[in-house]
């Protein structure tokens, strides 16, 4: 008997177009949100949009649009008065830290779409392509009668599911708790909310204090892990290192797997890699070149996640060479490349030599590849599935490091134990001649390695 596949829950996406956002950017962001929600395990049944002056207001969208959204969820379409009977819109805005207590919330209503949703289309969760305040979440769930998520909540949940190492789990948990803390009012039971002042508020304060204490504890643990990671980085600091950086799902892990021959996790989903992996370039070079895979970036990445993963991005900070890996088949790759550069600037990556790798060219036509070559003459076009392309990329990486090398003749006497092995490991041997008292090498090496060798010879 054939097993039936469990039906995935349905999601409705809602985009808010503000005056600062173009139509194209709004659609691109919604498409990206769809990929995020799909990664989380939902099937998207519909997308709705509304132009608004901003993302403030009790429900973000106007009253007409709210009623249309409610048709997807069988919700009432209006905020149940009990949910905020004692709070004005300005008070809720003040509560969320967006204004002072004398502010008034400007609500600009727009014409709602006349197109009603298909009566057979139903959504179990509504996801907004913006960040929502606690009171907005509460009001929307009241009006729609179902779970409501915002963009940051979706991203943090994906990170939580994909974290594998101790460091990643700690970093994600800190970001998750910081996100949850101001939203605790949304998770309290009905009896607790109706209890009024006293038990409800004291319980809320207790929960918040527990979260603060837990975050402090997690940060201490993370500091210990980061100290260990810094120690490992220090041990290999004298070795040349290439860091693969780029947008999520651009093909960094596939490229690393091809360059190093390692069994790095490769999945066609967003944020499949959250942990930094370091492997040696294969076939191995002399000196050995290390390759590191880093966490991917995305637009509107929650600030807490950027802060939490700062240590992970230290691999990029300490790298000798950066490879900006880009999905060339994605029409939005230029904006994705800009996001990557902005995040790296934020963590202090400056002046590191770099070049762009336009990946996934197997999805492009010959004409499209030719156009990219003209537009980006300094970039390398590859498909991580093509061994010839990977060979070309490897040669490019090696050539970058060899530019800084000098050629010199070195004589290693047999009486100096281990010196021959050290030369072969840390330098590229152009030629070697065995003589009666030792080995005469012609090597290409970094000036620092040659200076270190001279000190051992007492020169």
| 143-170 tens-digit pLDDT | 999 999 999 889 888 888 877 778 778 8
Residue 338 inside a domain? The answer is yes
Say whether both 366 and 306 belong to one domain.
yes
Residue 3 inside a domain? The answer is no
Contact (Cβ atoms closer than 8 angstroms) between residue 260 and residue 282 = yes
Say whether both 273 and 317 belong to one domain.
yes
Contact (Cβ atoms closer than 8 angstroms) between residue 122 and residue 73 = yes
Query: Both tokens of residue 422?
Result: 């050290």
Say whether both 264 and 353 belong to one domain.
yes
Residue 370 inside a domain? The answer is yes
Name which of 320, 382, 381, 391 is nearest 354 in CA terms.
320
Euclidean distance between CA atoms 18 and 3, whole angstroms: 46
Mean pLDDT of 381-405: 91
What pLDDT was estimated at residue 458? Answer: 65
Contact (Cβ atoms closer than 8 angstroms) between residue 126 and residue 11 = yes
Q: CATH number for the domain including 63?
A: 3.40.50.11060
The residue among 189, 206, 231 that closes a domain is 231
Say whether both 358 and 431 belong to one domain.
no
What pLDDT was estimated at residue 298? Answer: 77
* Dihedral of alpha carbons 20, 22, 27, 29, sign: negative
Contact (Cβ atoms closer than 8 angstroms) between residue 32 and residue 89 = no
Contact (Cβ atoms closer than 8 angstroms) between residue 67 and residue 112 = yes
pLDDT digits (tens, 9 = 90+) for 236-282: 666 788 999 888 888 888 898 899 887 654 454 444 454 567 888 88
pLDDT digits (tens, 9 = 90+) for 396-444: 999 888 887 888 888 888 888 788 888 887 888 888 899 888 899 998 8
The residue among 381, 402, 423 that closes a domain is 402
* Dihedral of alpha carbons 30, 33, 37, 38, sign: positive
Say whether both 398 and 410 belong to one domain.
no
50 DSSP β-pair partners:
16
Say whether both 196 and 140 belong to one domain.
no
Mean pLDDT of 223-231: 77
Residue 4 inside a domain? The answer is no
Torsion of CA 279, 282, 286, 291, to 10 degrees: -30
For residue 215, cis peptide bond before it (omega within 30 degrees of 0)? no
The residue among 159, 182, 203 that closes a domain is 159
413 DSSP β-pair partners:
438
Ranked by mean pLDDT, which of 3-7, 53-57, 411-415 comes out on top?
53-57
The whole domain housing 17 covers: 10-159
Q: CATH number for the domain including 357?
A: 3.40.50.300
- Mean pLDDT of all residues belonging to the chain: 80
Say whether both 375 and 304 belong to one domain.
yes
The values of phi and psi at residue 43, to 5°, are -105, 130
Residue 43 inside a domain? The answer is yes
pLDDT digits (tens, 9 = 90+) for 166-219: 877 888 888 889 888 887 764 444 444 444 444 455 687 888 889 999 999 998
Say whether both 328 and 390 belong to one domain.
yes
Say whether both 139 and 15 belong to one domain.
yes
Contact (Cβ atoms closer than 8 angstroms) between residue 315 and residue 299 = no
Who contacts 395 (Cβ-Cβ below 8 Å, separation ≥6)? Answer: none
Say whether both 316 and 396 belong to one domain.
yes
Number of domains in the chain: 4
What pLDDT was estimated at residue 423? Answer: 86
Say whether both 293 and 319 belong to one domain.
yes
What pLDDT was estimated at residue 191? Answer: 41
Residue 265 inside a domain? The answer is yes
Say whether both 142 and 108 belong to one domain.
yes
Residue 215 inside a domain? The answer is yes
Residue 2 inside a domain? The answer is no
């Amino acid at each position: 008997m054939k097993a039936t596949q469990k039906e995935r829950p349905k999601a409705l996406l809602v985009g808010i177009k503000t005056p600062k956002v173009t139509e194209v950017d709004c659609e691109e962001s919604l498409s990206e949100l769809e990929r995020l929600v799909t990664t989380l395990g939902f099937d998207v049944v519909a997308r709705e949009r509304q132009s608004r002056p901003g993302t403030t207001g009790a429900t973000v969208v106007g009253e007409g649009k709210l009623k249309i959204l409610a048709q997807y969820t069988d919700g009432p379409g209006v905020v149940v008065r009990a949910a905020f009977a004692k709070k004005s819109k300005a008070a809720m805005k003040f509560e969320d830290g967006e204004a002072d207590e004398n502010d008034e919330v400007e609500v600009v209503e727009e014409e709602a779409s006349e197109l009603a949703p298909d009566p057979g289309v139903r959504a179990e969760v509504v996801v907004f392509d913006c960040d929502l305040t606690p009171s907005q979440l509460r009001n929307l769930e009241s009006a729609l009668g179902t779970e409501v998520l915002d963009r940051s909540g979706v991203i943090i949940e994906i990170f939580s599911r994909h974290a594998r190492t101790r460091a990643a789990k700690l970093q994600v948990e800190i970001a998750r708790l910081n996100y949850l803390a101001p939203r605790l009012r949304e998770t309290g039971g009905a009896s607790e909310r109706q209890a009024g002042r006293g038990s409800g508020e004291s319980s809320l304060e207790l929960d918040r204090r527990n979260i603060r204490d837990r975050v402090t504890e997690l940060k201490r643990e993370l500091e210990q892990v980061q100290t260990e990671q810094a120690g490992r980085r220090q041990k290999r600091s004298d070795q040349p290192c290439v860091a693969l950086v780029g947008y999520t799902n651009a093909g960094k892990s596939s490229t690393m797997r091809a360059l190093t021959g390692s069994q790095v996790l490769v999945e066609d989903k967003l944020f499949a890699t959250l942990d930094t992996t370091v492997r040696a370039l294969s076939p191995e070079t002399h000196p050995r070149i290390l390759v590191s895979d880093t966490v991917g970036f995305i637009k509107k990445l929650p600030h807490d996640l950027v802060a939490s993963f700062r240590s992970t991005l230290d691999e990029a900070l300490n790298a000798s060479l950066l490879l900006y890996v880009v999905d060339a088949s994605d029409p939005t790759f230029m904006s994705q490349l800009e996001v990557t550069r902005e995040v790296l600037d934020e963590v202090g990556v400056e002046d590191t030599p770099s070049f762009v790798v336009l990946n996934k060219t197997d999805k492009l036509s010959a004409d499209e590849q030719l156009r990219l070559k003209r537009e980006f003459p300094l970039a390398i076009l590859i498909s991580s599935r093509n061994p010839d392309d990977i060979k070309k990329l490897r040669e490019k990486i090696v050539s970058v490091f060899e530019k800084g090398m000098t050629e010199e003749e070195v004589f290693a006497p047999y009486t100096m134990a281990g010196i021959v092995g050290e030369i072969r490991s840390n330098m590229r041997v152009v030629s070697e001649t065995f003589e009666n008292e030792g080995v005469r090498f012609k090597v290409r090496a970094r000036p620092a390695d040659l200076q270190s060798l001279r000190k051992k010879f007492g020169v």
